[in-house]
Amino acid sequence: MSELLISAMQLQQLLHEPDVVVFDVRHDLMNHRLGRQQYMQAHIPGAYFLDNEAELVGEADGTNGRHPLPNLNEFAHLLLQYGIGPQTRIVVYDASQGHMAARTWWMLRWAGCENVMILDGGWQAWLEAGGLTDSHLTLPAVLDKHHDIKPESKLPTVTADQILQQLDQPRWTLIDARAAERYRGEKEPIDPVAGHIPGALNRPSTLNLQADGRFKPAQQLREEFSELLGSTPIESVVCYCGSGITACHNLFALALAGLDGAKLYPGSWSEWVSDLNRPRVP
C-alpha cells in the first residue's frame, strides 16, 4: 500500500478497521444521475456516496467554469457529518479510470484531510478481486463535534486573471489534461469553444494509466513527466482541463511520481472561454 493508492485486496483488509471512511464518487458527465443509480444498485459495504453535481461542486454562474469548487468552509463542514478528522483514513473510488476519485482526492486534501487514498482500478478492480457489495443506503452520522477539520488549505490554485497576466512573460508551465483532439481544437464535445490556452502542453490524463485501468508505476510516471517538463520546477506547473476534474488526475499522477506541488486552475477551459477576449489556440 502506498500513501496514495490502495489495492482492492488491501482495502478488503482495511474495510472494518476503525477511523476508515470510504467514498463512492462514481459519476457520468453526460448522465448526472448514473453515479447515484449505480451506488444504489451495489457499492462497497459501508461506502458513502458523494455527488459530483451537488456536494463536490459550487454554484456555476456561467463565468466560473462547469464545476467550480464549493465554498471551502461549507465543504469541510460537510465532511464532519461523516466523522472525518484530519487523520481519518479515507479511500475514494469511482468507475471512470480514477478521474472523479482524483478530483475528490484533491478536494479532500484541499479541505485539510491528510490521509486520502484512491482505490487503484476503482469499482472494476473491487469486483475483479471478489469484493463484497451492498445495496443498502449508507447515511452520514450526526455532526461529530469530537472531530475538527481546519480548512486552511495549502494546496495552490490559480485564477484566469493570473494566467492571463503572465502569458506574455510566462512564469508557469500549463498542462492540459484533455484528449489530444480537444487540445488541438479539432473536436469539442462539451464546451462552446475549441482549442487550448496559449503555451499549454498536452498530457491527456489517460496516459497516467495502464491498460487495466490501474495507475502506472511511480517511476514510470516520473520519467514521463520529467520528459514533458524538462527542468521546469514542479512549483511552476499549473494543471487544467475542461472543468477542473481531469486536471486533478494529472495532479494525482504527479504526486504519485513524487512531484507534488503543482497548482490547479479550477475553472479550466470552460471558465477560460466564457470570456471570448481571452486568447486561445487555434
239 is catalytic: no
Opening angle at CA 90, ends 109 and 43, nearest 5: 125
Q: What is d(CA 231, CA 155) in angstroms, rounded to the nearest whole number?
A: 22
Grid cell at residue 221: 510516471
Residues 6+ apart with CB under 8 A from 60: 66, 67, 68
Grid cell at residue 75: 465543504
Query: How many CA atoms lie less than 13 Å away from 127 in the CB half-sphere?
Result: 8
- Nearest alpha carbon to residue 84 among 154, 5, 164, 147: 147
CB neighbourhood size of 199 (10 A): 14
Q: Residue 91 pairs with which residues in a beta bridge?
A: 22, 117
Tell how strand 173-176 and strand 201-202 pair up.
Answer: parallel
- Please give the helix or strand (H or E) that residue 247 lies within, else none: helix 246-256
Asked if 158 and 266 touch (Cβ cutoff 8 Å), the reply is: no
State CA 237 to chain mean position distance: 16
Catalytic residues: 241
